[in-house]
Amino acid sequence: MFAIQLSTSVKYQLLGLLLIMSPYSAATIPAFEDDVKVINGCVIQPETICSNTNLSNADLKHADLQGAIFINVKFTHADLRHANLSYATFKKSDLAHVDLASANLRHADLRTSKVRNANLEGVDGWALFGQGVDFTHANFMGANLDQARLSGAIMIKANFRAARLERVWMNKANFEKANLINANIQEAKLNGANLHQANLTGARIHYATFQDTFMEGCIRCPVNW
């Protein structure tokens, strides 16, 4: 048999012809390992599992991390704007100062983590699990938190302006000096919560419950509850 030597230009022409004839377009060719983003050993992809990792200041805008599990991960000042974090779990993680604006947090589990001074403006946090989480100074302006679980959460000086909090469980949550102006808290459970010096101006409170709620200094809290 004779070996046929082809010039480089001919090789490229044949490669192009094969791509044209292939039933797969460039958009459908599966990603190779080199295309997957890895930061400090954490693979940035859906259902990833990362533990004891530092992702501080990481650029994770638009990242698809649906169903991911983060254990003892530091996200300080990370950029997660528009990221898909639905069904993600954060265990003992630090999300202080993280930017989650417009992120998808539907069914995400933030229990046991800290989210102080975080930007959650416009997030979709429907049915979010945030019981006992420290959200001090967090910005939830315009966020959708309908049916979330926030019992015992710390919301001191948090901003919920125009946020949706319908049917949210917020029993024993601390909303001291929180901004709830124009928020929708209809049918929410605030039994035993702390609304000391909170601002509920323009808030929709139909069918919300405030049994044993502390309201001293609260602006526009329900009277004679």
Q: For position 223, what pLDDT does the model report? A: 81
Q: For position 6, what pLDDT does the model report? A: 53
Contact yes or no for 117/137 (Cβ under 8 A): yes
Model confidence pLDDT, tens digit, residues 166-211: 999 999 999 999 999 999 999 999 999 999 999 999 999 999 999 9
The residues, ordered by sequence, that sit 6+ positions from 130 with a Cβ below 8 Å of its Cβ are 110, 111, 115, 148, 149, 150, 153
- Mean pLDDT calculated for residue range 47-53: 98
Counting Cα atoms < 13 Å in the Cβ hemisphere of 216 gives 0
Q: How many residues does the chain have?
A: 225
Q: Report the predicted TM-score, pTM, of the whole model to 2 decimal places.
A: 0.84
Model confidence pLDDT, tens digit, residues 52-109: 999 999 999 999 999 999 999 999 999 999 999 999 999 999 999 999 999 999 999 9
- pLDDT for 31 beyond 90: no
Contact yes or no for 199/178 (Cβ under 8 A): yes
Q: Which residue has the higher pLDDT, 43 or 18?
A: 43
CA neighbor of 85 nearest in space, from 41, 56, 44, 113? 44
Counting Cα atoms < 13 Å in the Cβ hemisphere of 219 gives 13
**Six token digits for residue 4:** 């046929």
Residue 2: Cβ within 10 Å count: 4
